[in-house]
Amino acid sequence: DAGVTQSPTHLIKTRGQQVTLRCSPKSGHDTVSWYQQALGQGPQFIFQYYEEEERQRGNFPDRFSGHQFPNYSSELNVNALWLGDSALYLCASSARGLEAKNIQYFGAGTRLSVL
Amino acid sequence: DQQVKQNSPSLSVQEGRISILNCDYTNSMFDYFLWYKKYPAEGPTFLISISSIKDKNEDGRFTVFLNKSAKHLSLHIVPSQPGDSAVYFCAARYGTASKLTFGTGTRLQVTL
């Protein structure tokens, strides 16, 4: 059973560019959440997708956008990159439902470096 | 505003002894708490969780205690093993499908 998979694993971009990160949820999961983890910090919630709609959003600017596809996979897009966007981007998937407890399971992340 | 706090950035424990990792929170709306373990170059791995209606949950060597009045939870690992060396994150949420709010993590080192 494949867990949460993210691609690419590493990415280097320059300021002002745009980036797209991808996530495939764990089998049987229908909800995808994205987090940003800066060095020495805990993950910070960006947004969550369920049924192809953004359901919750953290304190991130509109430069951060996302999408969820019918197969539950998801993309995170960041426009107009700046140095402060350098971080580990984590995708987590979970399953809604009374018995699921909605535990979020994480992928290994995409390390984004903005130069 | 840091709603979930892990005040000890690091902890060193001898193999076979007990490791106790602490976490405090300020938001009384939180109703579910989780611990994740993170190795370098890997994503956080779910370890154990506890609902706010309970004060203890046990899974093998791992036990989580919740003190709602003090807004404090702790993770006990007994006995500690070298493979437990990792960064441990405490996380909290309110509502079943809600986002997770994480602490800054505690780096545990289990020495021989």
pLDDT tier, B96 (very low <50, low <70, confident <90, very high otherwise) = confident
pLDDT over 90 (residue A58): yes
Q: So what's the pLDDT on residue B2?
A: 83
User: Residue A33: which of A78, A80, A74 has the closest Cα?
Assistant: A74
For the record, the structure tokens of A86 come out as: 């350098």
* CA distances (Å), origin A76, targets A54, A66, B96: 12, 4, 23
Residue B1 burial (C-beta neighbours within 10 Å; 0-12, 13-18, 19+): exposed
pLDDT over 60 (residue A99): no
Radius of gyration, CA atoms only, chain B: 13
pLDDT tier, A98 (very low <50, low <70, confident <90, very high otherwise) = low
pLDDT over 70 (residue B31): yes
Q: So what's the pLDDT on residue A2?
A: 75
Question: Are B100 and A43 an interchain contact pair (Cβ–Cβ within 8 Å)?
Answer: yes
Test the B interface: residue of A31, A102, A110, A111 with most B CBs within 10 Å: A102
How many angstroms separate the CA atoms of B83 and A89, rounded? 25
Q: So what's the pLDDT on residue A110?
A: 98
For the record, the structure tokens of A103 come out as: 């535990």
pLDDT tens track for B55-75: 999 999 999 999 999 999 999
Least reliable range by pLDDT among A23-32, B61-70, B92-101? B92-101
What residues of A are in contact with residue B42 (Cβ under 8 Å)?
Answer: 108
